[in-house]
Structure 1
Amino acid sequence: MPAVSQTRETRFSYDEAFSRNLGWVTQAEQLRLKQARICIAGLGGVGGIYLLTLARLGIGAFTIADFDHFALANFNRQAGATMSSLDQPKTDVMLALARDINPELDIRVFDQGLNAANLESFVEGADVYLDGLDFFALEIRRHLFALCHRKGVPATTVAPLGMGAALLNFVPGGMSFDEYFQLEGESEDEQALRFLVGLSPAMQQMTYLVDPSRVDLEQKRGPSTVIAVQLCSAIAATQVLKLVLGRGDVVAAPRGLHFDAFRNRLRRTWRPGGNRNLLQRLLLGVVKRRLRLKDAGDRIGR
């Protein structure tokens, strides 16, 4: 009789699947990656591709959160957005894709999203937190970064901006998210603007923004590209590798990096005081005028 074909699970071998990583990492380091847990909030633009990229790096455990479903407006950039996944929960789709890469993954799922009541459970056991939340989800983002800061969990955000990516790491003992961005007490529009300027002190993307009217803070909508999302994934995965393995230079806030593929340029940024920095205060005014914002406050220096 012919041999019964093996299932995907019985055919899978972690060591063989990720053997091509060896050389850039040692066998002991690959085992450490297998044992690491990465928390990713949001599985849309950057969050979904973070999950798949890190699954291919051999990360063995994840905690993921998202309450949304895939829609047509996601097709230009989101890894899980296809006709076959239309209207399906992002957590279901991305979980299936990740387990198709590594069926042995340990994944905890928060399919109703995050709130004040479940943040502690979400970050439990985290080695690194990766920010994949919607740009405008500022309140829950602040709470999450603050919790990571208190617990000593490194937290990384890589912003997809135009056709580039801007990196900020918030590491234990270093500057906190709130200290850097200075969002407390501000209006929603002002917080969004401060977040944008803080993420991107170099503002390289603004030189080729051809239609500023597409940036609409009031409607919580802005332009995006898959180019930026893919760049973010490579940068974020590298930060995870360095943070988990404890080797390599980690650029931490108030220092950052911004690579723009359209401009062929890497900029290193340093803003002591974060958004309180004089250069940031001046930049805020420039960006307000560029985006023709009438209602955003001007209290960045208080």
Structure 2
Amino acid sequence: MSPFNYHDAFSRNIGWVTENEQLRLRDARVAIGGLGGVGGVHLLTLARLGVGQFSIADFDVFDIVNFNRQVGANVSTLGRPKIDVLVEMAQDINPEIQLTTFPAGIQADSLEAFLDGVDVYVDGLDFFAFDARRMTFAACEKKGIPVVTAAPLGMGTALLVFGPGGMSAEDYFGFEGGDEMEMAIRFLVGLSPAMLQRGYVVDMSRVNLAERKGPSSIAACQLCAGVAAIETLKLLLGRSGVKLAPWGSQFDAYRMRYVRTWRPWGHRNPLQRLMIALVKAQLGRSSN
């Protein structure tokens, strides 16, 4: 077996990127917060694109309930730290890859180090990790680091990109002053203003934001990784076509529908306020 060679390993990317662009990806650093349903597959997808440096954070271990969607979840990895397993998987793709790990997850006292030298931050945090998400998004905004967040919703993905020149995540979602349920609803509606996934939920009893529960699928997580990877590639290479929030998009593979959304004023937009109210009514929660 021949020794690993970066140029050979990622030569089939050439054509979609130039040889010089591939070398730029090799020198780029991407931070990923969370290595669960979407975070783990984000890492492996970007590693196969030839991104050479990562900062990764996760504190959790693999459990059997992760088997339906998380790329590192196997019988052989039960109980193992997700970050250790994903490091091994990424190094198996690219032995030269540089991984700076944060096994305590995203913490205030290590956030500066986590984002040091980072070109793009890709959000892989748990849906309900609002404190860590708000802290990281705010730090990225202050540092001018673009943020890519792709959410697995239904059998599809919803994409938002925050960055210099666009609306801040805090202004878009309107988290300030809300309790966890309020933030969850605003986050859900902010991610997918079109709510394409609503039409085919077969068991609404499985959707319980108060208990932090909802159905998931590997198909949606893999769609997220593909979409997020391409937006990250565009950002890393300075390509055109990246639409910053309040622009967003959602692709639902089950319904084979794609919608691009624009919500000026973010959560204050009348359409957004209406959708928030409708979701609250469906979930049986009165408006604040």
Retained in 2: the 8 A contact 1:30–1:58?
yes
Superposed displacement of residue 173, structure 1 = 2.6
SS in 2 for 1:247: coil
User: CA-to-partner distance for each residue in 1:139-195, whole Å, 9 max, x for gaps?
Assistant: 110010000000000001001001010000001132111010001111111011100
CA distance in 1, matches of 2:210, 2:173: 20
Retained in 2: the 8 A contact 1:212–1:290?
no
Equivalence for 2:142? 150
Equivalence for 1:3? none
Equivalence for 2:257? 265
SS in 2 for 1:230: helix
Larger radius of gyration: 1
Retained in 2: the 8 A contact 1:212–1:291?
no
CA distance in 1, matches of 2:152, 2:12: 28
User: CA-to-partner distance for each residue in 1:21-43, whole Å, 9 max, x for gaps?
Assistant: 00111010000000000000000
- Stretches of structure 2 that go unaligned for 5 or more consecutive residues are none
Superposed displacement of residue 291, structure 1 = 2.3
SS in 2 for 1:268: strand
Equivalence for 1:238? 230
Equivalence for 2:19? 27
In structure 2, what residue type is equivalent to 1:17? A
Choose 281-290 or 74-83, whichever is displaced more: 281-290
SS in 2 for 1:31: helix
SS in 2 for 1:158: strand
Match of residue 279, structure 1, among 252, 261, 271:
271
1:220 aligns with 2:217: no
SS in 1 for 2:189: helix
CA distance in 1, matches of 2:21, 2:160: 24
Superposed displacement of residue 211, structure 1 = 1.5
Match of residue 77, structure 2, among 66, 85, 91:
85
1:200 aligns with 2:189: no
CA distance in 1, matches of 2:108, 2:50: 31
In structure 1, what residue type is equivalent to 2:125? L
Where do 1:107-122 residues align within 5 Å?
A: 107-122=99-114
1:94 aligns with 2:86: yes
CA distance in 2, matches of 1:261, 1:242: 23
Superposed displacement of residue 293, structure 1 = 3.0
Equivalence for 2:117? 125
Point out 4+ residue stretches in structure 1 off by more than 3 angstroms.
none
CA distance in 1, matches of 2:77, 2:108: 29
Equivalence for 2:154? 162
Superposed displacement of residue 292, structure 1 = 2.5
SS in 1 for 2:108: coil
CA distance in 1, matches of 2:216, 2:149: 16
In structure 2, what residue type is equivalent to 1:201? P
- Report the TM-score, using the length of structure 1 for normalisation: 0.94
Q: How many residues align?
A: 288
Equivalence for 1:189? 181
Superposed displacement of residue 137, structure 1 = 0.2
SS in 2 for 1:160: strand
